[in-house]
Amino acid sequence: MADLLNTSISGLLAFQRALDTTSHNITNANTPGYSRQITEFMTRQAHPSGAGWVGAGVDVSTVTRAYDDFLAGQARNSSSAFHRADAYATQAERVSNLLGDSSTGLSASLQEFVNALQSVADTPTSTAARQTLLSQAQILVDRLQGYQDSLASFEAQVNSSMRTQADAVSSIASAIAQLNQEISSGYARTRQPPNDLLDQRDRLLDQLATYVSVSVVAQEDGSVNVSIGAGQPLVVGQHASRVVATGDPYDPTRMIVAVQSQHGLADITRSISGGTLGGMLDFRGQMLDPARNALGRMSVGLAEIMNEQHRAGMNLNGVMGGDFFSVGEVGVRLHAGNSGTATLDATRIPGAAGALTTSDYVMTWTASGWSLQRADTGASVSMTGSGTVADPFVADGLSLVVSGAPALGDRILIQPTAWAAAGMDVLVSSPNEIAAAAPIVAGAAAGNAGSGVISPGEVLDPTHPQLRSAVAITFTSPTQYTVGSDPTVHTYVPGQNIEVNGWRVQITGSPAAGDSFSVRDNVSGLGDNRNALALADALSRPVLNGGTTSLSAASGQFVSELGVKTNQAQVTRDAQKVVADEAAASLQSVAGVNLDEEAANLLRYQQAYMAIAQMIRVADTIFQSVLEATRR
């Protein structure tokens, strides 16, 4: 009968353990990261007898957790991808909402400026119209700088968020290393899985995956090795690396991600992918930097177009116009690790705004001399010239002069347009200084017998010393003319350009012998609006992007690119959300607690427990019967 009791007691103990596990499951039904645990039963070693093997009861062999490493890995990867897309899309939405508003938009400000220019063309002598143009110019500059400031503040947010996230990654890494130690010693002690510790560690890995993509390799002692991004080891056994956000070697205000080791900091920014950290870096590289450079290129284009035409005009004081806008210089930044003394003087080539790209460049001193690459793609860019003042390097609209002694591997970052908008200003301060008139005026002599008509004239070289000197064009016959006091006889071709003293006119029709035309200083022509119209025309000419894109098209493109990128990011996020939810649900369907299931288990184990209690009663009854029988 002892066997019967022993067997029953083994059952009582086993089902108590099972009930414990069930209650653990029920109480942790809402604990994040908790995996449901399962009590595994095993029959006890049976006793041999002449009549065969007699069963001896039940044992609990182990308590396992319902978990699937493959599903967990999938859930983690898709969560990384989702958090990357989500971080990118969230930032992108903010940028495009801020910069894409049509009422405060760039194209609206640009058109207002052109309209103000038209108003000056309508009434060139009106101070009010001129004042309005200056205000609109200031508004346009403010708008460009406002955009630049917004982008800069987004970058500052990216920087501070990188710092927070790098800290989070580091603290998670050290917590994982700590758990690795506890788990491996737990295994060694009991040879049983420490389920709750495993859950905790998996939950930390899940959290890590929201910051950056992770790959996990399980070790035999129960610990895991974790690497992030493109294989950068983060946790090896019980040792965790420290990840920090630190200043870019070109620009200390811009953050990069680095791993701290005994050799110092190693930049791992390029190998970071996935997670919110990857999303932030993507946002900065794919949206902020190109947008800032595109904005800068527009500013350069605007200033160049306006300045060139404005210098060709005459202002209300009767003198030639000056520059209208100033823009920021080309950014040149030496790498902090440079050991040579090389410095670089980079300028934009006047009139070559069309050749500027929206890329930054890195110039490197190699064994075969200086070489230039695009900073974003690393593609090599060819340069002409030799880099001296007399013969500068020329590439993509830039003129580069190097000086000093470089050391091998020294690098210099060149930002052709990044700071252009920030340094923008309106240089014309008084309404009278707006050059709305052309400096020359052409006319026919009174009583010309022929039907010749002279065009109003345009300025080719505003700096020509004789530009505004009076010149007569006299026809010696209907087909021949002389210019000024020069006796050279030219053959008349109707509509052909006549270029003298830095200006150009055309004569059409049939002039008669003795007819004459004059080109002279327009100093009294204060009501002239030709240069104002030329300015308006110039603003609609395609100058950017190799002469294919006008300013207004560029401002439209600027916003549409933001829109397209944001839209793509949103679509990616939505798609990744579905994938991530699906993967999480798959894991949950294996690991999650179902209360109905637990209620059923509770009933099952309770009934088994009651049945075994009944067994003990039976054993007792049998024993009493035997006692009763032997009393007599």
Partner 1 sequence: MRLSTQGFFTASLAAMQSQAAELAKLLNQVGLGRRVNSPADDPIASVHIRELERAQSESEQIAKNSVLIRNRLNLEEQALADAGTILTRVRELTGKAANIGTLSDADRRSIATELDSRLSELLDLANRQDGAGEYLFAGFSTLTKPFTGGGDAPIVYAGDQGSRLIQIGPAQRLADSHSGFDVFVDIPEGNGVFATSANAANTGSGVIHPGSVVDRPSWVPDDYTVVFTAADAWEVRDSATPQNVVASGAYVSGAPIEFNGVRIEISGQPAVNDEFTVSRSRSKDIFTTVRDLAQALRDTAETPAGAARLATALEGAMQQVDQASEHLISVRSQVGARLSALDTADSARESRDVDIASALSELRDVDYAEALMKMNQRLVGLQAAQLSYSQISQLSLFSYLR
From 171-179, 253-261, 466-474, 529-537, span contacting partner 1 (CB under 8 A): 529-537
588 contacts partner 1 (rule: CB under 8 A) = yes
Longest distance between any two alpha carbons in the chain, whole Å: 166
CB atoms within 10 A of CB 540: 13
Nearer CB in complex with partner 1: 271/588: 588
| DSSP per-residue codes, 252-265 | TTSEEEEEEETTEE
Q: Would you mind telling me the total number of residues written for the chain in this entry?
A: 632
Residue 259 amino acid letter: V
Site string for partner 1, 156-195 (x = CB under 8 A): ----------------------------------------
Task: Out of 318, 409, 509, 592, point to the residue binding partner 1 (CB under 8 A).
Answer: 592
Q: How far apart are CA 39 and CA 71, in angstroms?
A: 22
Nearer CB in complex with partner 1: 107/373: 107
Q: How far apart are CA 594 and CA 49, in angstroms?
A: 44
Closest CA to 450 of 473, 477, 470, 490: 477
Instruction: Work out how close the CB of 492 gets to partner 1 at its nearest, in angstroms, rounded to a whole number.
Output: 18
441 contacts partner 1 (rule: CB under 8 A) = yes
| DSSP per-residue codes, 486-528 | EEEEEEP-TT-EEEETTEEEEEES-PPTT-EEEEEE-TT-TT-
Instruction: Work out how close the CB of 377 gets to partner 1 at its nearest, in angstroms, rounded to a whole number.
Output: 24
Instruction: Work out how close the CB of 569 gets to partner 1 at its nearest, in angstroms, rounded to a whole number.
Output: 8
In three-state secondary structure terms, 235 is strand
Instruction: Work out how close the CB of 559 gets to partner 1 at its nearest, in angstroms, rounded to a whole number.
Output: 5
526 contacts partner 1 (rule: CB under 8 A) = yes
Q: How far apart are CA 541 and CA 549, in angstroms?
A: 8
Nearer CB in complex with partner 1: 8/91: 91
449 contacts partner 1 (rule: CB under 8 A) = yes
Do 255 and 159 contact (CB within 8 A), yes or no? yes
455 contacts partner 1 (rule: CB under 8 A) = no
479 contacts partner 1 (rule: CB under 8 A) = no
Q: Tell me, rounded to whole angstroms, the distance of Cα 537 from its chain centroid.
A: 35
Nearer CB in complex with partner 1: 75/272: 75
Binding to partner 1, residues 2-41 (CB under 8 A): 29-30, 36
Binding to partner 1, residues 408-427 (CB under 8 A): none
Do 75 and 584 contact (CB within 8 A), yes or no? yes
437 contacts partner 1 (rule: CB under 8 A) = yes
Task: Out of 318, 409, 478, 514, point to the residue binding partner 1 (CB under 8 A).
Answer: 514
Binding to partner 1, residues 377-396 (CB under 8 A): none
Instruction: Work out how close the CB of 118 gets to partner 1 at its nearest, in angstroms, rounded to a whole number.
Output: 5
Cα atoms found within 13 Å of the Cα of residue 581, Cβ hemisphere only: 6
Instruction: Work out how close the CB of 543 gets to partner 1 at its nearest, in angstroms, rounded to a whole number.
Output: 18
Q: How far apart are CA 283 and CA 94, in angstroms?
A: 11
Do 60 and 18 contact (CB within 8 A), yes or no? yes
Instruction: Work out how close the CB of 523 gets to partner 1 at its nearest, in angstroms, rounded to a whole number.
Output: 9
**∠ Cα 405 408 410 (to 5°):** 75
Task: Out of 461, 567, 604, 608, point to the residue binding partner 1 (CB under 8 A).
Answer: 567
- Number of residues binding to partner 1, judged by CB under 8 A: 74
Nearer CB in complex with partner 1: 146/478: 478
Instruction: Work out how close the CB of 520 gets to partner 1 at its nearest, in angstroms, rounded to a whole number.
Output: 8
Nearer CB in complex with partner 1: 60/591: 591
Instruction: Work out how close the CB of 586 gets to partner 1 at its nearest, in angstroms, rounded to a whole number.
Output: 9
470 contacts partner 1 (rule: CB under 8 A) = no
Q: How far apart are CA 82 and CA 275, in angstroms?
A: 7
- Strands of the sheet with 398-403, listed across from one edge: 343-348, 398-403, 393-395
Instruction: Work out how close the CB of 530 gets to partner 1 at its nearest, in angstroms, rounded to a whole number.
Output: 8
Q: How far is CA 461 from CA 151, 313, 489, in A?
A: 39, 11, 24
Nearer CB in complex with partner 1: 184/522: 522
446 contacts partner 1 (rule: CB under 8 A) = yes
Binding to partner 1, residues 534-563 (CB under 8 A): 536, 552, 556-557, 559-560, 562-563
Instruction: Work out how close the CB of 562 gets to partner 1 at its nearest, in angstroms, rounded to a whole number.
Output: 6
Task: Out of 46, 218, 564, 618, point to the residue binding partner 1 (CB under 8 A).
Answer: 564
Closest CA to 173 of 219, 233, 262, 257: 233
| Element containing residue 585 per DSSP (H, E) | helix 551-591
CB atoms within 10 A of CB 450: 16
| DSSP per-residue codes, 403-454 | ES---TT-EEEEESSTTTTTT-EE---SGGG---B-SEEEEEPTT--S--EE
- For the record, the structure tokens of 249 come out as 């070697």
Nearer CB in complex with partner 1: 507/559: 559
Instruction: Work out how close the CB of 103 gets to partner 1 at its nearest, in angstroms, rounded to a whole number.
Output: 9
Binding to partner 1, residues 221-250 (CB under 8 A): none
Binding to partner 1, residues 593-622 (CB under 8 A): 593-597, 599-600, 602-603
Task: Out of 383, 591, 612, 619, point to the residue binding partner 1 (CB under 8 A).
Answer: 591
Instruction: Work out how close the CB of 472 gets to partner 1 at its nearest, in angstroms, rounded to a whole number.
Output: 14
286 contacts partner 1 (rule: CB under 8 A) = no
545's torsion region: left (phi>0), alpha (psi -120 to 50) or beta?
left
From 200-208, 244-252, 460-468, 584-592, span contacting partner 1 (CB under 8 A): 584-592
Residue 5 amino acid letter: L
Binding to partner 1, residues 73-132 (CB under 8 A): 92-93, 96-97, 100, 102, 105, 107-108, 110-112, 114-115, 118-119, 121-126
Task: Out of 235, 258, 383, 442, point to the residue binding partner 1 (CB under 8 A).
Answer: 442
From 4-12, 181-189, 220-228, 436-444, span contacting partner 1 (CB under 8 A): 436-444
Residue 257 amino acid letter: V
Nearer CB in complex with partner 1: 46/610: 610
Cα atoms found within 13 Å of the Cα of residue 427, Cβ hemisphere only: 17
Instruction: Work out how close the CB of 42 gets to partner 1 at its nearest, in angstroms, rounded to a whole number.
Output: 24
Task: Out of 522, 531, 545, 550, point to the residue binding partner 1 (CB under 8 A).
Answer: 522
Closest CA to 343 of 247, 410, 249, 254: 410
